[in-house]
Structure 1
Amino acid sequence: MEKIINIGEYIELAVDWLTDNFAPVFDLIKNVGNTSIEGIEWLLVTTPFYVVIALIGLLALFKAGRGVAIFSACGLLLIYLMGFWVETMESMALIVFSTVIALVQALPLGIWAAKSERVERIIRPVLDLMQTMPAFVYLIPAVLFFSIGKLPGAFATVIFAMPPAVRLTALGIKQVPADIKEAARAFGATNKQILFKVELPLALNTILAGVNQTIMMALSMVVIAGMIAAGGLGEKVLEGINNLDIGLGFESGLAVVILAIVLDRITQALGQSNKKKVVSLSNIFKRK
């Protein structure tokens, strides 16, 4: 069937215009981004594996309990023994970098959307597009802007992983009871003080759920980013698929699963441990 409206052609023209006119900007972003990711990689890879495992195990122990701590330590040790430690740390570096960049943008947008209905109406369809667009599509402009490598993988990951954090930040702030905000205002709190000392603390549990979802989506996208030489476990999974190597595919996939479970359980536990603080803060304002 012949195309009547060729939207893709206009998108292609826009991308070509950006790459032609903003090449120095993209080069600068690429250099800074690659340096940051490689710095995190260097820190994780050069730190002895048993130190990394011990630190993650202790974090899991204090925040998520003994069961998660044992699983985290045993799972990460299994990854090391399977020979995927360096690739796992490369994936971890990309996840950390992408998650931080995504949250730096998502949290202010979520707060803005919670405070303004107009902004929310504008942002909502954009977030819908970002979430429903097939993840592979993001790799195309990423490669055109930054060539292949780690940064385009991070670029695609940030776009794919941002929406949950924006949505849940806005939702958390909207769910703060109005009477608590009125009580804070009656005590002379300014709008800024209400945001940082009332709304954000009370919404923190929901915001942390958004952080958890952002990390999980970043992990799934990091695997896909192996297609554009982003390194890490994604390249090992892709290598197993290309070579029909069942053993390599299963082992690298198992490493992804272990990393996902460890990150998921720890970040979920951070949200759960915040519930008591949220309840106590809420009760203080209600009593007053």
Structure 2
Amino acid sequence: MHLRNKAVAGAAALTLGTVLALIPATAADAHGSMSNPPSRVYLCKNEGPETPKSEACKAAVAAGGTQAMYDWNEVSLLEAGGNHRALIPDGKLCSAGREKYRGLDLPRADWPATQVSPGPLEITYHATAPHGGSNFEFYITKQSWDPTKPLKWSDLEPLKTFNNQNPVTFTKWTLNLPQRTGRQLIYSIWQRVLYSNEAFYTCSDVDFGGGTNPSPTPTVTPTVTPTVTPTVTPTVTPTVTPTVTPTVTPTVTPTVTPTKQEGAWTAGTSYTAGATVTYNGSTYRCLQSHTALPGWEPPNVPSLWQRV
């Protein structure tokens, strides 16, 4: 009788073990990616990992395989803990530095891009396992970014940070896009704060369309006029002049007078537009109100600080 009880107990333990093995180990983990504008991995997943349609997705699958696209919601680092720049090297921002997703880092000018324009843009983040207490950071590439070159941290400038968020399956925010032309990229970081150091990363290609640079420097006028005049009809001159003049004045005026001296720049401090700080022996003026984060040192974010 004693031996029979042991056999029954062993069978019950085996059954329980089998059931537990069927439960996904990552069921409690957060997962997700940008769905609008779609991230590169979300886009290739929707095209179909086995039969991608765009040349960029075909190349990404050829480089990293189809499984990366099936696992579209796991472009992440388990122990990021906010140390994104230290953990992810330049050229590997879209893959989070993971070999599995290396196809997402391919520097190409033909990644399918969402048409956008300067001003408000409603974005959507698709979370397959949303968790509360999360921070979301959004960045955009500088006008000088070249999509045929590997993406670097220095190519990005901050757009908006949403702290202490409780995302749902499809969470929407509004970003205010700056003046840009041509192909650009929106980069996002979802950093879990409660119960986990895990962070997720996305690269979403966007296209602002053609056009000239809206912020030329005053030195453009003397160099452009003599070059254009001998080769182009006189109708070019009035076209160039109004484009240069109105864009120089508004970019200079708001940064003339600081409101107060804040001392040395410090991460975690809230700064208002016009405040001045010192960093590495230089003085900088705040261009727009924000809360400083590690990596947003004045020399790294010209959209937030101007050297004076």
Give 1 or 2: higher strand fraction: 2
Larger-Rg structure: 2
Greater relative CO (CA pairs within 8 A, separation 6+): 1
Higher helix share: 1
Same fold at TM > 0.5:
no
Per the normalisation by structure 2, the TM-score is: 0.25
